[in-house]
C-alpha cells in the first residue's frame, strides 16, 4: 500500500497520525513505513473500534512539503515502545522507552481514578504529588481531592462528585475495554460508573488515554464520554469541576512565578479563568527547569471551545458547564441534561513540554491535533 502525506498551511513536528487500511489477513503490531529515499520509520498496525488502521508519528513536515510512503508489514525494529503493565494494587503502569511515565490508579480506596505521577521530558514530574505522597518539601497540601490528572464534576443530578467532603459521590472502575502497548502508542480504555453517596449509579463514563512514544516531549490524547445509562443526567452549572483536570507541580503555580497562557494570548488567571479557549498552557519552574503542560480542546468536544477553571494556585481544568458561575452577567445557565440513552463526548490532547507555551510552539502544535496533514492513497 502506498500513500502520501502533505502539509498545507502548517508545519508539523512529532505529529501522531493514523489512517484506515484494507489489507487481507493483516497482522497487528509493529510494521514499517518506507519513504521515497528508502528511509524507514516504525508504524503500528491495530484495530481501531472495528477498523484496521496504521498509526505513526510524523517527525517533521514543513509547510507545503509532501512525503510518499510504502507500507511494509515487516517490523521496523524499534528500540523503544510504550508498555502498560498491571503492577497490582489496582494500578496500571505506563512506561515509555523503559522509563516510568505515569500510573493509572483505579481502586476503590480512592474516590475517583487518577493518573500519578505525570513525568515530562528530562524525567521531571510536572504534577503535584500530594495527596498520593505527603512528604514532598515545599509542596502545597490544599484541596486533597485534586489528584494530579483526573476527571470529576460537582453537580451530577445534584450529587457532588468533585470534592471529598460530606456525602460526596464516587467514580467507580468497572472494567477495562482495552489495555495495549506498542511502538507508536499505548492505550487504556476504562469503563467507569458515577455513583452517589448511597452507591446508586447516575451515569456511565468511557475514559480513554492514548500515550504516544516520544522522548523529548509527551503527548497524551484523552477521550471521555458521559452516557446516560440509568435515566436522565442533569449536569449542573458550577465552577467546581473538570471533565479533564490537572493539578500542576506547586513550583509551577502562577502564585510562585508560573505563567498561564491561552490560545488568544491572554495571560494570568485574571485573563483566562472562566474564558473559552481552544487551549490553555500552564508553565513554570520545576527542579530549576521551565516545564509546561498544554491542554487542547478538539472541535468535536461538547461545547467547544471549552471554558477553563484555571487558578493561580495550580488547578487547571476544562469545564464547559459553568456559564453562570464564570460570568453571571450573561444571565444564562450552563446546565445541561443528557437524556436517558444518549451521551456527550469530549476530546483533548495533553502536550507536556520544556519551556513556556511560546517556546514550545503550543499554537502551532494545536494544528497537529485539529488539522493534521492531508493523507491520500496513491
Distance CA(121)–CA(360), nearest Å, equals: 12
152-176 pLDDT, tens digit per residue, is 999 999 999 999 999 999 999 999 9
Cell numbers given for 116: 500519578
Kindly calculate the radius of gyration of the chain based on its CA atoms and give it in whole angstroms.
Answer: 21
Euclidean distance between the first and the last CA atom of the chain, given in angstroms as a whole number: 8
Q: For all residues of the chain together, what is the average pLDDT?
A: 96
Count of C-beta atoms within a 10 Å radius of residue 300: 11
Exposed, middle or buried: residue 336 (CB in 10 Å: 0-12, 13-18, 19+)?
middle
Whether pTM > 0.85 for this model: the answer is yes
Q: Name beta bridge partners: 127.
A: 248
223-270 pLDDT, tens digit per residue, is 999 999 999 999 999 999 999 999 999 999 999 999 999 999 999 999
In the three-class reduction of DSSP (H, G, I as helix; E, B as strand; rest coil), residue 34 is classed as strand
- Is residue 267 within 8 A of residue 233, CB to CB? The reply is no
- Is residue 69 within 8 A of residue 60, CB to CB? The reply is no
- Is residue 67 within 8 A of residue 5, CB to CB? The reply is yes
Query: How does strand 91-96 pair with strand 201-212?
Result: unpaired
Sequence-separated (6 or more) residues with CB below 8 Å from residue 374: 5, 6, 8
Residue 286 pLDDT level (bands cut at 50, 70, 90): very high
The structural domains of the chain, ordered by start, are 2-78 (2.60.40), 82-370 (2.70.98)
Distance CA(332)–CA(350), nearest Å, equals: 30
- Measured over all CA atoms, what is the biggest interatomic distance in the chain, rounded to whole angstroms? 64
Q: Name beta bridge partners: 350.
A: 220, 295
63-92 pLDDT, tens digit per residue, is 999 999 999 999 999 989 999 999 999 999
**3-state helix/strand/coil string of 178-208:** EEECECCEEEEEEEEEEECCCCCEEEEEEEE
Amino acid at each position: 500500500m502506498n500513500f502520501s502525506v502533505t502539509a498545507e498551511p502548517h508545519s508539523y513536528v512529532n505529529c501522531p497520525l493514523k489512517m484506515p487500511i484494507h489489507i487481507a489477513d493483516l497482522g497487528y503490531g509493529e510494521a514499517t513505513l518506507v519513504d521515497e529515499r528508502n528511509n524507514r520509520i516504525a508504524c503500528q498496525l491495530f484495530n481501531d473500534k472495528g477498523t484496521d488502521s496504521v498509526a505513526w508519528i510524523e517527525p517533521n513536515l514543513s509547510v507545503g512539503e509532501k512525503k510518499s510512503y510504502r507500507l511494509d508489514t515487516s517490523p521496523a525494529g524499534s528500540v523503544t515502545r510504550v508498555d502498560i503493565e498491571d503492577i497490582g494494587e489496582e494500578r496500571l503502569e505506563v512506561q515509555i522507552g523503559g522509563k516510568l511515565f505515569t500510573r493509572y490508579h483505579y481502586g476503590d480506596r480512592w474516590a475517583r481514578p487518577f493518573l500519578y505521577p505525570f513525568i515530562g521530558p528530562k524525567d521531571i514530574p510536572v504534577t503535584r504529588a500530594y495527596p498520593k505522597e505527603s512528604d514532598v518539601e515545599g509542596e502545597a497540601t490544599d484541596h486533597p481531592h485534586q489528584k494530579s490528572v483526573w476527571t470529576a464534576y460537582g453537580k451530577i443530578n445534584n450529587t457532588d462528585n468533585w470534592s471529598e467532603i460530606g456525602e460526596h459521590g464516587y467514580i467507580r472502575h468497572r472494567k477495562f475495554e482495552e489495555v495495549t502497548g506498542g511502538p507508536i502508542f499505548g492505550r487504556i480504555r476504562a469503563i467507569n460508573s458515577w455513583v452517589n453517596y448511597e452507591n446508586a449509579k447516575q451515569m456511565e463514563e468511557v475514559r480513554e488515554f492514548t500515550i504516544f512514544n516520544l522522548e523529548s516531549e509527551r503527548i497524551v490524547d484523552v477521550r471521555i464520554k458521559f452516557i446516560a445509562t440509568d435515566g436522565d443526567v442533569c449536569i449542573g452549572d458550577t465552577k467546581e469541576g473538570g471533565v479533564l483536570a490537572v493539578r500542576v507541580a506547586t513550583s509551577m503555580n502562577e502564585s510562585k512565578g508560573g505563567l498561564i497562557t491561552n490560545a488568544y494570548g491572554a495571560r494570568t488567571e485574571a485573563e483566562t479563568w472562566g474564558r473559552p479557549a481552544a487551549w490553555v498552557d500552564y508553565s513554570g519552574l520545576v527542579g530549576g527547569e521551565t516545564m509546561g503542560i498544554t491542554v487542547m480542546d478538539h472541535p468535536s468536544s461538547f461545547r467547544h471551545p471549552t471554558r477553563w477553571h484555571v487558578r493561580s494556585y495550580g488547578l487547571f481544568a476544562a469545564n464547559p458547564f459553568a456559564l453562570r458561575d464564570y460570568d453571571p452577567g450573561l444571565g444564562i445557565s450552563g446546565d445541561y441534561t443528557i437524556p436517558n440513552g444518549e451521551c456527550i463526548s469530549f476530546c483533548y490532547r495533553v502536550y507536556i513540554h520544556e519551556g513556556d507555551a511560546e517556546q514550545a510552539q503550543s499554537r502551532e502544535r494545536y494544528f497537529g491535533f485539529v488539522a493534521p496533514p492531508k493523507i491520500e492513497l496513491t
